[in-house]
C-alpha cells in the first residue's frame, strides 16, 4: 500500500533531506529572515512520480510557517498564469521557458536563434533587476 504524504514526511529519508536544507539555509526563512518561528522545507515544484526526498537542495527552500502558506498561494497564482499561456506563438510556454532560464542563469539546450535571443533577454532583465536594487 502506498504511503500518504504525511507518512512520507515522517520517513527518515525526508527527515535527513529536511535537516540538510535547514542547515544549508542556516535555519532562516529565505523570504523574511525569521529564525524563531516554526520552519518548513518547501518544494518549489513537485514532479510526478518523485518521492519528497528525491529533490536537489536547489529545488527546496527553508520558509517560516507564514511565508510557506503565502508561497503556496503565490505558486497557485503562478501556475494559473502559466496555464493561460498559449502552447505556441507569442506568449507561449516555450518563450516563458527561455526567458526564465536566462533570468535565473540556468543553462538549457537551444536549437534555434529565437531561443538564444529569448534567453539573452531574460539574462539582461536579471542584470537590470540586480542593478536597480
Q: Choose the CATH number for 1-84 among 3.30.230, 3.40.50, 1.20.1460, 3.40.1800.
A: 3.40.1800
Print pLDDT tens along the chain (133 aa). 889 999 999 999 999 999 999 999 999 999 999 999 999 999 999 999 999 999 998 999 999 999 999 999 998 988 888 888 777 776 788 888 999 999 999 999 999 999 999 999 999 998 888 887 6
> C-alpha cell of 91?
506568449
CA distance 33 to 124: 28
Q: Angle CA(58)–CA(64)–CA(69) in degrees, nearest 5?
A: 90
The CB density around residue 92, as the number of other CB atoms within 10 Å, is 13
Measured N-to-C along each axis, helices 93-104 and 113-131 cross at an angle, to the nearest 10 degrees, of: 50
Q: What pTM was computed for the model? A: 0.71
**Is the Cβ–Cβ distance between 50 and 14 less than 8 Å?**
no
Parallel, antiparallel or unpaired: strands 60-64 and 39-43: antiparallel
Domain layout of the chain by residue ranges: 1-84, 86-133
Amino acid at each position: 500500500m502506498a504511503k500518504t504524504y504525511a507518512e512520507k514526511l515522517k520517513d527518515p529519508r525526508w527527515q535527513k533531506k529536511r535537516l540538510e536544507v535547514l542547515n544549508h539555509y542556516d535555519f532562516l526563512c529565505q523570504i523574511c529572515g525569521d529564525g524563531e518561528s516554526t520552519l518548513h522545507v518547501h518544494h518549489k515544484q513537485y514532479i510526478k512520480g518523485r518521492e519528497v526526498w528525491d529533490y536537489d537542495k536547489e529545488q527546496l527552500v527553508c520558509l517560516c510557517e507564514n511565508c510557506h502558506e503565502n508561497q503556496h498561494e503565490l505558486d497557485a497564482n503562478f501556475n494559473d498564469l502559466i496555464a493561460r499561456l498559449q502552447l505556441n506563438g507569442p506568449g507561449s510556454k516555450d518563450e516563458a521557458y527561455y526567458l526564465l532560464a536566462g533570468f535565473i542563469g540556468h543553462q538549457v539546450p537551444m536549437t534555434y536563434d529565437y531561443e538564444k535571443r529569448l534567453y539573452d533577454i531574460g539574462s539582461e532583465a536579471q542584470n537590470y533587476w540586480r542593478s536597480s536594487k
